[in-house]
Chains A and B, each alone.
Chain A
Amino acid sequence: MSNEQNVNNKKSNKTVATTLRKFDTKVQYLKYKVLREVARHTYDDTLTQSFNDIAKTIVKDKATMRCCIYKERAIVSQRIEMASGGHKEKDNIVEVLDIACDECPIGGYEVTQACRGCLAHRCEDVCKRGAITFDENQKAHIDKSKCVECGMCAKVCPYNAISNTQRPCVKACKVKAISMDENNAAVVDESKCINCGACVYQCPWGALSDKSYIIEVVNLLKNYAGDTKTRLYAVVAPSISGQFSYADITLGQVVTGIKQLGFHSVVEAALGADMVAYNEAKELAEKGFLTSSCCPAFVDFVEKNFPELKDNISHNLSPMAEISKYIKENDPGAKVVFIGPCTAKKAEIRKDNIKPYVDSALTFEELQALFDAKGIELTELGESELNNASYYGRIFARCGGLAEAVQEALKEQGNEDFELHAVSCDGIEECRTALLKASKGIGNVNFIEGMACVGGCIGGAGCLTHGPKNKLEVDKYGKLAMEKTITDSIKNL
């Protein structure tokens, strides 16, 4: 190979690496490409006639993902439908793309080839149901009519020969909203689903997806960019801090990019978080027991599973809604678009009490698609400032931040003698445990910080990347805030 070719090869490898680094998985990348094309054609007013073209742009002349290009294109059309807002008659944000569902095996606990037919038979000994039998080679078998999937046999097998085959979507869904239909395709039970998006991120086939409001946002941008009467505001969640760092892009450049899309102003949702922390601390001191209300999936979870605790959910709006309300009170002509990591926010903004304040919502994935649809190259942009909130408002983005902020607000309000016994629930399973205890009056917890996603908002399904460094980024970003206390941040509002 000549030197020149070598250089070229290196170059193209680098391009691939940069494209992929934006996302954790290729599923996200595929979804992004569809969103980008849908946004692009909406800008050009060519969406309705371009459905087939988009499918052909994304699935060229060779199948790379499924059995044939026709299936791939059929799935892309379902993705286009989701990118275009999904089924309007369904309120749920998360939907199943039935063609994309690979109908994964659902065997549960099964003995694998690794079983050596040993003498000990610990599996048999530990099985309370007598479900384990042995064949003539002394190899174990599980009688599925007796097995209750307790998993004890798998734990004791010295060869790890018993595996648990579960669908990734079912495993991801901690509220048990996913089951199978008669064709073995996944079905979402909307009466249980909290739209947290865990299945969307976990399904290896991308067969579950959140519906997108990207068309709505493009139309807002087309109608009102540069308008002096109807101004567009982007409210961005603090979890944005670690999201666009894939090519050393700074947050300041992202803010410039959002403005170039046509937003009049970019405002931190974290300022709303400061307001919430301040009011929530007061409410807590008054009522004595409270759960947070910031995470829409958590609120939905409480309402669906612990209705008796509904009145204990803080009466504050979420940070997104608080700041949007404030913006609209000060600028009645404003239109607000929330940009965050969250799929459940898309359901929250359609609630009757939130609807007046927030016009639409995007995820970071969708924001990336919008940048690329418009050809905005973030690395080439100058930096804009983003500074409205305090350290405490910003750390809402990670688990534990909210409780820390409420503690700080209690202190600032001179309520130091109120003893805060907070539990910060990292993920919906911890939320369930804390709520269960609270509903039975066990323990002395007086504040439940509920975060449906593991890690907090930085673990949200709409994030471009998920990883431990995101928490560090949020803390670093928090420390950059000019206002050091919550009171300083909101006293002049």
Chain B
Amino acid sequence: MEIRVCIGSSCHLRGSYDIINLMKSGIEKNNLEDKVNLAAAFCLGKCGDGVSIKIDEQVISGVTAENFNEVFDTYVLSAV
């Protein structure tokens, strides 16, 4: 699975680095290092609604530290 977190300006200002950190620890906690490849992206085209992440071909926007666990469960844990 390929996960890309947008670090473009809008998402950066909305806290994309926090999301990357949460993502890293989520992957670690669930021992998914072999299955998930985490990388950065510059702009996923949803600037008004960041932080955006892209999981394989699907873009999920509006990710925040608050809803992160829900997003992680729905799109990562259930899919790997």
Question: Is B10 within 8 A of A385, CB to CB?
Answer: yes
Given A384-B47, A492-B20, A327 contacting B42 (CB threshold 8 A): yes
Chain A: CB-nearest residue to B42: A265
Distance of A385 Cα from B7 Cα, bound (Å): 12
Q: Does B32 have its Cβ within 8 Å of any Cβ on chain A?
A: no
Q: Does B39 have its Cβ within 8 Å of any Cβ on chain A?
A: yes
Q: Does A386 have its Cβ within 8 Å of any Cβ on chain B?
A: yes
Q: Does B60 have its Cβ within 8 Å of any Cβ on chain A?
A: no
- Interface-centre pick from B10, B12, B47 (highest chain A CB count, 10 A): B12
Q: Does B36 have its Cβ within 8 Å of any Cβ on chain A?
A: no
**Which residues of B lie under 8 Å from residue A493 when comparing CB positions?**
7, 40
Q: Digit string of B27-51 for contact with A (CB within 8 Å is 1, else 0)?
A: 0000000000001111100010000
Given A384-B47, A388-B7, A482 contacting B12 (CB threshold 8 A): yes
Q: Does A357 have its Cβ within 8 Å of any Cβ on chain B?
A: no
**Nearest chain B CB to A370's CB is how many angstroms away?**
20
**Which residues of B lie under 8 Å from residue A386 when comparing CB positions?**
9
**Which residues of A lie under 8 Å from residue B21 when comparing CB positions?**
492
Q: Does A193 have its Cβ within 8 Å of any Cβ on chain B?
A: no
Chain B: CB-nearest residue to A488: B17
Q: Does A233 have its Cβ within 8 Å of any Cβ on chain B?
A: yes
Given A492-B17, A492-B20, A492-B21, A384 contacting B9 (CB threshold 8 A): yes
Question: Is B7 within 8 A of A331, CB to CB?
Answer: no
Interchain CB contact (< 8 A) of B43 among A264, A326, A387: A264
Given A233-B42, A330-B41, A492-B21, A265 contacting B13 (CB threshold 8 A): no
**Nearest chain B CB to A65's CB is how many angstroms away?**
42
**Nearest chain A CB to B42's CB is how many angstroms away?**
5
Q: Does A267 have its Cβ within 8 Å of any Cβ on chain B?
A: yes
Q: Does A434 have its Cβ within 8 Å of any Cβ on chain B?
A: no
Given A384-B47, A492-B7, A492-B21, A330 contacting B39 (CB threshold 8 A): yes
Distance of A266 Cα from B21 Cα, bound (Å): 24
Q: Digit string of A334-359 for contact with B (CB within 8 Å is 1, else 0)?
A: 00000000000000000000000000
Question: Is B9 within 8 A of A385, CB to CB?
Answer: yes
Question: Is A387 within 8 A of B7, CB to CB?
Answer: no
Distance of A268 Cα from B13 Cα, bound (Å): 14
Interface residues on A, range: 20 to 34
Chain B: CB-nearest residue to A323: B42
**Which residues of B lie under 8 Å from residue A387 when comparing CB positions?**
9, 12-13
Given A492-B20, A492-B21, A330 contacting B42 (CB threshold 8 A): yes
Distance of A255 Cα from B9 Cα, bound (Å): 11
**Nearest chain B CB to A384's CB is how many angstroms away?**
7
Given A492-B17, A492-B20, A492-B21, A388 contacting B9 (CB threshold 8 A): yes
Distance of A78 Cα from B41 Cα, bound (Å): 42
Distance of A219 Cα from B39 Cα, bound (Å): 30
Distance of A268 Cα from B43 Cα, bound (Å): 13
Question: Is B13 within 8 A of A385, CB to CB?
Answer: yes
Question: Is B43 within 8 A of A265, CB to CB?
Answer: yes
- Interface-centre pick from B13, B17, B21, B42 (highest chain A CB count, 10 A): B42
Distance of A326 Cα from B7 Cα, bound (Å): 12
Q: Digit string of B2-19 for contact with A (CB within 8 Å is 1, else 0)?
A: 001001111011000100
Distance of A264 Cα from B41 Cα, bound (Å): 12
**Which residues of A lie under 8 Å from residue B39 when comparing CB positions?**
330
Question: Is A330 within 8 A of B12, CB to CB?
Answer: no
**Nearest chain A CB to B19's CB is how many angstroms away?**
9
Distance of A334 Cα from B74 Cα, bound (Å): 30
Distance of A255 Cα from B42 Cα, bound (Å): 14
**Which residues of B lie under 8 Å from residue A384 when comparing CB positions?**
9-10, 47
**Nearest chain A CB to B37's CB is how many angstroms away?**
11
**Which residues of B lie under 8 Å from residue A266 when comparing CB positions?**
9
**Which residues of A lie under 8 Å from residue B8 when comparing CB positions?**
265, 267, 388
Distance of A89 Cα from B41 Cα, bound (Å): 38
**Nearest chain B CB to A319's CB is how many angstroms away?**
16
**Which residues of A lie under 8 Å from residue B41 when comparing CB positions?**
330-331
Chain A: CB-nearest residue to B19: A492
Interchain CB contact (< 8 A) of B12 among A255, A326, A388: A388
Q: A267-B42, A327-B42, A492-B17 are in contact. List 4 more A-B contacts (CB 8 A).
A: A233-B42, A264-B43, A385-B9, A492-B40
Can you list 19 contacts pairing A with B, beta carbon distance less than 8 Å? A233-B42, A264-B42, A264-B43, A330-B4, A330-B40, A331-B42, A384-B47, A385-B9, A385-B10, A385-B47, A387-B9, A388-B7, A388-B8, A388-B9, A388-B12, A482-B13, A491-B17, A492-B21, A492-B40
Return the 6 tightest CB-CB contacts between A and B, nearest first.
A265-B43, A385-B9, A492-B20, A387-B9, A265-B42, A492-B17
- Chain A residues with CB under 8 Å of chain B are 233, 255, 264-268, 326-327, 330-331, 384-388, 482, 488, 491-493
